[in-house]
Amino acid sequence: MNVRASYAAFRQQMTHFLTDPQWIIPSLIAPFMFTMVVLMIYQDVDGPVVLQAVLGGGVLGMWGNTLYSSGWSISYDRYNGTLEPLMTSPTRLMDVVAGRSVWNTLIGLSNAVLVFVIAEIMFRTGVGLANPAEFFFILIMTLASLASIGLVFSAFFVLTRASSVLMSSLEFPIYVVSGAMFPITILPDWVIPVSYILAPSWGVDAMKIAALDGYEGIGLGIAGSLAVMLLLTAIYIIMARWLFKKIERNVRSYGTITRF
Amino acid sequence: MSPPEDAPPIVVERLTKVFPGKRKRPDKTAVDDISFNVEKGEIFGLLGPNGAGKTTTIRMLTTMLIPTSGVAWVLGKDVTKEEVAIRKRINLVSGGERGLYYRLTGRQNLRFFSELYGIDPKTRDRRIEELLQLVDLTESADQRVEDYSRGMKQRIHIARSLVNDPEVLFLDEPTLGLDPEIAREIRALIRRMAGMGTTILLTTHYMFEAEELCDRIGIISEGRLVALGNSLELKDSVNNATVIHVETREDPYEAIETLEGMDGVIHVNSDRVPGRFIVRIQVDHGSDLLTEVNEAMRGLRVLRIGYDEPTLEDTYISLVSGHER
């Protein structure tokens, strides 16, 4: 991996974020809306349900941000005509996207924090965490796993601009199957395997164990869920590398790189 | 297979690119069996109409596209298999305003692209200052690119393409859409880069630009290289054509229609300039059509009529239209 190029891409993404007001939509407004809706639904309920709702709102915001920013990462270059100079540089496109994903991940973290702040200040939910340190560690790991899914999606955006269809169609199902809003265990049997191959499902499970006293979830405990999530994240990264290589070769053969 | 050690920086042998047809459309041959070399420090121009295959050729040579058949070596490396080694030592400028991060400043753009080439920080910072000076953008370096004029954007494009001190530079219509003064500045910049030893392959639609800048020119039509040489050699290559030059006060559109259908006429080209119309009629060398041309112009105020030497543009039109027939 070209760390310097990834860091340059991180800085470039950060500068774009700070100078382009449109990023406020996925990064601040969307999680704010999620949280508002969820907390309004649960405003007369106390205890763990509220915490689960707040957690769900946070994860939804993070997921929406990952999906939007990973897709836009390549689409912006395609639209802007910068994909050509990126492709003709010696840096692998995945290294550039990885740097941008790290920035998006940090913004995802700010989403999560924002959700908790909104819950506390506006709704006075009195949310308490059973194991705050563990919880935040798992939160950061979950964000990293989301970023790795973002990398896989970005590869498809190199292939075709039509990948936005994939992005849009994945947004809402993941809210359900990742267990962000509802425990996975209450989902129909046929959906559960889909949840299990999504790394964030395991991260959400571990976060809930850390946050809620007596929550058992899938049953592997914090360490087990975390291990599965990290394993799946590693698989996503390997998959992303393979996809980038294949797709770059494909676009070099068919000449689709500059269509926008 | 690899080229000899002392091979020129660009070696193209029987290069072909076929794009597969989609939805039952036939395959499209964008580049068809072309061969040429570009020597070190040379400015080589590829001329051709839209869709002739110029950009596809550049994309293959800059490793953005994989050839369907044939081979090309840039700096001794195969464009299909050794793309990373080539990318370190070349760069590309495309015409038009796209290709920069508009929300970043000129300096931030240069810095970002420098990092992609792994240039060490000390060299990077020194080179960025030198490049800003070269393209005369030192004072506006910290302005966002979105606030740049079109000419400034094109100059920062060129600066971006030099961050890695490329040995070979590809310029795809570098003066496209620029006003004459800025286009002249860009041409001066291109000459300066060639003077510094950079090998340059450029595509352009502008004949005078090709004639002014290029040591050698390849004319490409429908994917095939139809002529190759310096501008004098190219003009000589169509010396079987003669040009009749006519200047009229009124619009000679009816006369042009008549001339286009006449035996012995290869091509008719007309231009409107302040106060008059200029018509250039390319005719087969053996055809003495002056009387017929005079007849076709009857009723118009003819300011000048006579034979002329073919220009590069006449040559180009003759070659391209001859090939398209």
Is A88 in contact with B63 (Cβ distance < 8 A)? Answer: yes
Res B323 pLDDT > 60: no
What residues does B11 pair with on adjacent strands? B37, B73
Could you tell me what percent of chain B has a pLDDT over 70? 96
Q: What is the DSSP letter of B136?
A: T
What's residue A27's pLDDT?
67
State whether the Cα torsion B119-B122-B124-B127 is positive or negative.
negative
Is A12 in contact with B112 (Cβ distance < 8 A)? Answer: yes
Backbone torsion region of residue B51, taken as left when φ is above 0, otherwise alpha when ψ lies between -120 and 50, otherwise beta: left
Of A35-39, A50-54, A236-240, give the range with the top mean pLDDT: A236-240
Q: Please state, rounded to an integer, the average pLDDT across all residues of chain A.
A: 78
8 Å CB contact between B314 and B282: yes
What's residue A50's pLDDT?
67
Is B118 in contact with A254 (Cβ distance < 8 A)? Answer: no
Is A89 in contact with B116 (Cβ distance < 8 A)? Answer: yes
What's residue B126's pLDDT?
94
What's residue B178's pLDDT?
74
Q: Which CATH class is domain B240-309?
A: alpha beta
Sequence spans of domains, chain B? 10-230, 240-309
What residues does B248 pair with on adjacent strands? B277, B302
CA B115/CA A7 separation, integer angstroms? 9
8 Å CB contact between B164 and B91: yes
Res A260 pLDDT > 60: no
> What's the average model confidence in pLDDT over A239-245?
89
What's residue A127's pLDDT?
61
ipTM score: 0.80
Domain B10-230 has CATH 3.30.230.70: no
Q: Which amino acid is at B234?
A: L
- Least CB-CB distance to B59: which of A15, A19, A255? A255
Of A221-230, B55-64, B181-190, B262-271, give the range with the top mean pLDDT: B55-64
What residues does B304 pair with on adjacent strands? B247
Select the more confidently predicted residue: A142 or A51.
Answer: A142
Q: How far from the centroid of its chain's Cα atoms is residue A137's Cα?
A: 16
Q: Is B56's Cβ below 8 Å from some Cβ in A?
A: yes
Is A82 in contact with B19 (Cβ distance < 8 A)? Answer: no
> What's the average model confidence in pLDDT over B15-39?
88
Of B86, B286, B256, nearest to B168 by C-alpha is B86
Minimal C-alpha gap between B313 and chain A (Å)? 30
> What's the average model confidence in pLDDT over A88-108?
85
> What's the average model confidence in pLDDT over A91-120?
81
Nearest chain B residue to A96 by CA distance is B116
> What's the average model confidence in pLDDT over B211-223?
90
Of B172-186, B211-225, B228-242, give the range with the top mean pLDDT: B211-225
- Least CB-CB distance to A90: which of B20, B56, B87? B87
Kindly indicate the confidence band of residue A130, based on its pLDDT and cuts at 50, 70 and 90: low
Nearest chain B residue to A14 by CA distance is B104
Select the more confidently predicted residue: B187 or A41.
Answer: B187
Find tokens 């193209």 and name the residue.
B12
State whether the Cα torsion A149-A154-A157-A162 is positive or negative.
positive
Q: Is B57's Cβ below 8 Å from some Cβ in A?
A: no
Res B234 pLDDT > 70: yes
Res B171 pLDDT > 70: yes
- Give chain B positions within 8 Å (CB) of A254: 19-20
Q: Is B59's Cβ below 8 Å from some Cβ in A?
A: yes
Kindly indicate the confidence band of residue A125, based on its pLDDT and cuts at 50, 70 and 90: low
Sequence spans of domains, chain A? 3-254
Could you tell me what percent of chain A has a pLDDT over 70? 83
Q: What is the DSSP letter of B144?
A: B
CA B114/CA B116 separation, integer angstroms? 5
Find tokens 């006075």 and name the residue.
A124
Q: Is B283's Cβ below 8 Å from some Cβ in A?
A: no
Is A81 in contact with B98 (Cβ distance < 8 A)? Answer: yes
Lowest mean pLDDT among A41-55, A198-212, B209-223: A41-55
Is B118 in contact with A88 (Cβ distance < 8 A)? Answer: no
Q: How far from the centroid of its chain's Cα atoms is residue B255's Cα?
A: 32
Rg of chain B, C-alpha, whole Å: 23
Minimal C-alpha gap between A137 and chain B (Å)? 31
Is A15 in contact with B103 (Cβ distance < 8 A)? Answer: yes
Q: Please report which residue ranges of chain B form alpha helices under DSSP H.
A: 54-61, 83-87, 106-116, 121-134, 150-161, 180-195, 207-213, 231-237, 253-260, 290-296, 312-324
Nearest chain B residue to A257 by CA distance is B64
Minimal C-alpha gap between A157 and chain B (Å)? 16
Is A252 in contact with B63 (Cβ distance < 8 A)? Answer: yes
Lowest mean pLDDT among A24-33, A109-118, B155-164: A24-33
> B122-156, pLDDT tens digit by residue?
999 999 999 998 888 999 999 999 999 888 888 89
- Phi, psi (rounded to 5 degrees) for B169: -120, 130
Is B98 in contact with A82 (Cβ distance < 8 A)? Answer: yes
**A with B: how many residue pairs have Cβ under 8 Å apart?**
89
Q: Is B160's Cβ below 8 Å from some Cβ in A?
A: yes
Is B65 in contact with A255 (Cβ distance < 8 A)? Answer: yes
Is A249 in contact with B113 (Cβ distance < 8 A)? Answer: no
The token pair at B104 is 């970043």
CA B257/CA B268 separation, integer angstroms? 9
For residue A16, the surrounding DSSP H or E stretch is helix A3-19
Longest dimension (CA), chain B: 72
Minimal C-alpha gap between B86 and chain A (Å)? 8
Of B251, B312, B245, nearest to B281 by C-alpha is B245
